[in-house]
A = this chain, B = another copy of it.
Amino acid sequence: MSVRKAIWGDSLEAIEQALTEVDPDLYAYIRDFAYEEVLARPGLDLKTRELLAITSLIGLGAPKELATHLQGALNNGATEQEIRETILQSALFVGFPHALGAMKRFQALLRKQG
């Protein structure tokens, strides 16, 4: 299974189509370099990689991409608790505002899933 399938799950086709329309070359790099080369490397399991991705994105303040990897963490076996701890810990390093913003986004995602 591709890393994109593992992280994007049922959204794979929708994301592929949307990003290809945004810029096919940028999407090709995201697909071939970011997902299927770097995130596909051995040495760390995908669940851990997704918790690290969440942490990077909290620091950037990039809410749209954050939502993708909050879902990606759930899709790869991270529990709700593990994701909450990941977000909560980030408050120590990048401050409460970015951590709170991320937790609100996680709450919104959980509510949408019911």
Contact = CB atoms under 8 A, between A and B. Distances in A.
A21 B107 contact: yes
A26 B95 contact: no
A17 to B, nearest CB: 13
A74 interface: no
A45 B56 CA distance: 19
Interface residues of A, number: 53
A30 B65 CA distance: 23
A85 B26 contact: no
Interface of A: 19, 21-23, 25-26, 29-30, 33-34, 38-39, 41, 43-44, 48-49, 51-53, 55-62, 64-65, 81-82, 84-101, 103-104, 107
> Nearest 10 CB-CB pairs, A to B?
A56-B93, A59-B59, A43-B85, A65-B97, A62-B97, A55-B55, A44-B85, A43-B81, A95-B95, A93-B95
